[in-house]
Amino acid sequence: MANTIDRLADQVRENRIWRSIFRSGTGESNLHRALTVQQNVFLHLFSVKARKRTLEFSATWYLGALTFGTFLILVITGILLMLYYHPSVPQAYADMKDLQFVVSSGVFLRNLHRWSAHAMVFLVFAHMFKVFYRGAYRPPREFNWVIGVVLLLMTLLLSYTGYLLPWDQLAFWAVTVGSNIASAVPVIGAKMRFLMLGGTAVNANALLRFYVLHCVILPFAAVVLIAIHFWRIRKDGGIYSGESPAEGDAK
Amino acid sequence: MSDPKDFVAVVDSDVRKTPRRIAFITKRTSPQVHVKDEERVMTYPEVFFRTAVAIEVLAILLVIISLRWNAPLEGLADPMHTPNPAKAPWYFLGLQELLHYFPPVVAGVLIPGLVVMALIVIPYFNINIEAEGLWLRDKARRLRVFGIVVVLFCIFLAVFDVWVALVPTLIVAAFMLLAAQTPPQTTRGFRGWLASKPLSFWIMTWFLFELVVLTAIGTFFRGPGWSWVWPWRT
């Protein structure tokens, strides 16, 4: 049975149409495995081989991968939530109630998005401290550390802008507290706050701005930065493997 | 290459694979030199498979959490009715706790700005890259500087009544002193481990400690008017 499935899979992969899309072809050899990674526009962000030691759980606790996992969950659930959401006052809140009482699995969808968002913030912090305590920020990885710090800020902004969208008391006042801090910036504080909220208080304009930031601008920026972050792991010689003499052969 | 000392000589002696050779590595080049080979695996399938399993486990966990606990949803936003206390999302509650003690320009702008700056510059200081034990050299002078900085900082915190930030500072300082008291030949056990830790480790650990304590206090121990409450009594 397993043989039949393997043969069928091979037949599909040897098919002309398949080969025109995925050029790596079939086979168990390391060459094919290498081509699978190298010839794929997304996968070629990663190196073809990895040091075995860096794959041990203790090396990374897989925190970076898990952070990316939460990001994927958030993108998927976020797109689904966008189908039920209007960024206007007070319709936004009514949509929350619709998710609760009308939409199939609406509550689950919102729960998964919310808890994944909290998990992502937590995991980004955990990832940062793990990288620090491993000393993995050392050259030649210093700029990837900087990109990581920017991604931390991106994550906080994504979470913060998403916080307003349900338009309930919790959302409104949390964002009011936050935006008041922005106005404490010397000289440009009030202007910054005005730009952020589209007005002098948290209102319908602020909701729309946060929606656009949350669903378009920040995710796009995050995706670009994540791609660079991953690609630089390869360029900087793979995942840091400690005080190893075999460090840093960029591919 | 104006400075003739700007290189080190490395001998690769694995004669089975490479002829004996000498490589000159200047300080400017990244250390891209094989001294010995390390075991490697193919990214596909090994790395992708492990990563997929890790993400799967997390996804299952999050699904279980989402089935069990509902995301909070309060009443419709009402600008006329301020909840007491009005709290920011949990990851900003450390900052909100600081806002309780310092003016907004300090707690809301200066401190987070400095934290971000400090995080960014970490890999650009050689002291963080060499990561030598803090007390291994120049101990007397370093102890003096350490003492002055800690005392001044503690006075500063006490003046502003920031006892919640003072306690973690004192605990970390105590461990630093313990590390300083460790005889230099100790390399094993907890004290040997402490003694090997560089300055960046201590600062980051202090920061992590403060972050956790301030966030936990802002989340669980603050009630109406930002007054202190015990979470188990409400």
Distance separating alpha carbons of residues B170 and B166, to the nearest angstrom: 6
CA distances in angstroms from B143 to A101, B28, B80, listed in the order given: 64, 34, 55
Q: Do B30 and A163 count as a contact with CB atoms less than 8 A apart?
A: no
| pTM recorded for the entire structure | 0.88
Interval A83-108: pLDDT, tens? 999 999 999 999 999 999 999 999 99
A53 touches chain B (CB under 8 A): yes
> Which residue type is seen at B229?
V
Q: Which of A60, A142, A231 to mutate: most B Cβ within 10 Å?
A: A142
Reported ipTM: the value is 0.91
Q: Do B42 and A33 count as a contact with CB atoms less than 8 A apart?
A: yes
Chain A residues with CB inside 8 Å of B40's CB?
49-52
A104 touches chain B (CB under 8 A): no
Q: Tens-of-pLDDT digits for all 234 residues of chain B?
A: 455 556 666 665 565 655 566 666 666 665 555 556 688 899 988 999 999 999 999 999 999 999 999 999 999 999 999 998 888 899 999 999 999 999 988 988 999 999 999 999 999 988 878 888 888 888 899 999 999 999 999 999 999 999 999 999 999 999 999 999 888 777 788 888 998 899 999 999 999 999 999 999 999 999 998 999 999 986
User: What residues does each domain of chain A span?
Assistant: 62-235
Q: Do B129 and A166 count as a contact with CB atoms less than 8 A apart?
A: no
A43 touches chain B (CB under 8 A): yes
Chain A residues with CB inside 8 Å of B92's CB?
156, 160, 178
Fold of A62-235: Cytochrome Bc1 Complex; Chain C (1.20.810)
Q: Do A34 and B42 count as a contact with CB atoms less than 8 A apart?
A: yes
CA distances in angstroms from B27 to A84, A117, A138, A219, listed in the order given: 57, 43, 14, 39
CA dihedral A158, A160, A163, A164 (to 10 degrees): -100
| Surface of B (163-192) touching A: CB under 8 A | none
Taking each helix axis from N to C terminus, what angle separates A63-82 and A218-235, rounded to the nearest 10 degrees?
160
A119 touches chain B (CB under 8 A): yes
B117 touches chain A (CB under 8 A): no
Q: Do A145 and B123 count as a contact with CB atoms less than 8 A apart?
A: yes
